[in-house]
Amino acid sequence: MIADQLRTARRAAVRHAAAASRAGFDAHEQALTEIVLTRAAPAARVWTFSQREEARTGADWLWWWSSGNEWFGVLVQAKRNKPGHGLPWYDFGYRTGAGDRQIDLLLAHARRLGVPAAYVLYNHPRIEPGVTLGNPCCIAPYESWRTRLGVAVVPGLLAQPLVGGTEDVAAQHARPLECLACVGRRPRLLRPVASSIDDPDLRSFLSGGSTALPRVVALGLLAQLSQMRMGQLRAAPSTVVEIDAPRQVFRQVPTDRGHFAEPYFEHVLRGLLSQPPWYLAALLEGGAWESVAEELEGVEGVVLFEEAEDT
């Protein structure tokens, strides 16, 4: 199971960060990400490009999830929590040399690539006992939720409102790395939203009607955004918008945006496709390397997680 491999990867990254700390230095995001990806094998297939312009785009890796019939992509940026600030702090508002906020560049780059954005958070030092955490979506033997958040995931669209002194809230909304591939309590979080949607296929998806890997990952990111959305006072409109994207699985999506930078349904579901993008298909076929590298300028590498769809 991919969730088990991601759990192994998370533990390995935490051990490396602790070993680096004992040796007197901080493990960098790049090294921690490499450990995650190597330990996630054999579920993960990795293609790397030369490092280019991360300061401009804020993007590290393009992760894709496949069931063979559907595909879901996420643009991922790695962040370490910063020691010495008391509460978990990730510098989501970091500005590049040109003065642009890295979070804004990450979201813009995700839009250009037609996928949502997410952060992988490396929490070492460990999140302190006094910091409030969100509710677990699942239980793991012999590990607390706080321990499991040593490597965690938070949607980029959710991280943007956390800029400006309240970045400790990320601990309440992040989920352990392996929870990308678990169902957990996500359908319950989205049930109020699903009840107001006319499209039966979209309503079934939001109710947890499939265990196909791409849908599970997409549903999890939506649930994290929905959890924050439920705490916002702005009323949700009942309108939908038609998306002109033939490969997108759901082309009619709710327009609700809450206090996010863009409508969150469209942000997440644009990455759920019935066919892989051309560059991923090219990588799988072993060709068009130069064209792919040019298309993915600023992306350090592509990762593909594959699991057969349940029937």
How many angstroms separate the CA atoms of 186 and 177, rounded?
A: 15
Pairing of strands 301-306, 61-66: parallel
How many angstroms separate the CA atoms of 170 and 44, rounded?
A: 26
What pLDDT score was predicted for residue 112? 92
What count of residues does the chain have? 311
List all residues 6 or more positions away from 287 whose beta carbon is below 8 Å from its beta carbon. none
How many angstroms separate the CA atoms of 54 and 96, rounded?
A: 10
How many angstroms separate the CA atoms of 149 and 133, rounded?
A: 9
Q: What is the pLDDT along the chain (311 residues), one digit of tens a residue?
A: 899 999 999 999 999 999 998 999 989 998 999 999 999 887 899 998 865 544 444 458 999 999 989 999 999 999 988 765 566 778 888 888 888 888 888 999 999 999 999 999 999 888 888 888 888 888 888 899 999 999 999 999 988 777 765 667 778 889 999 999 987 766 566 766 666 777 888 888 888 878 899 999 999 999 888 877 766 555 555 677 778 888 999 988 888 877 788 899 999 999 999 999 999 999 999 877 778 888 888 888 999 999 754 43
pTM (2 d.p.): 0.91
Q: How many CB atoms lie within 10 A of CB 53?
A: 14
| Cβ contact 82:122 at 8 Å | no
Q: CA–CA distance from 11 to each of 36, 76, 82, 84, 147 (Å)?
A: 9, 19, 20, 23, 10
The residue type of 91 is D
Name the token pair of 221: 């990111």
How many angstroms separate the CA atoms of 201 and 35, rounded?
A: 38
Please report where in the chains the tokens 């991280």 appear, as a residue. Answer: 159
How many angstroms separate the CA atoms of 143 and 122, rounded?
A: 17
| Cβ contact 183:216 at 8 Å | yes
Specify burial of residue 64 (Cβ count, 10 A radius: 0-12, 13-18, 19+).
Answer: buried
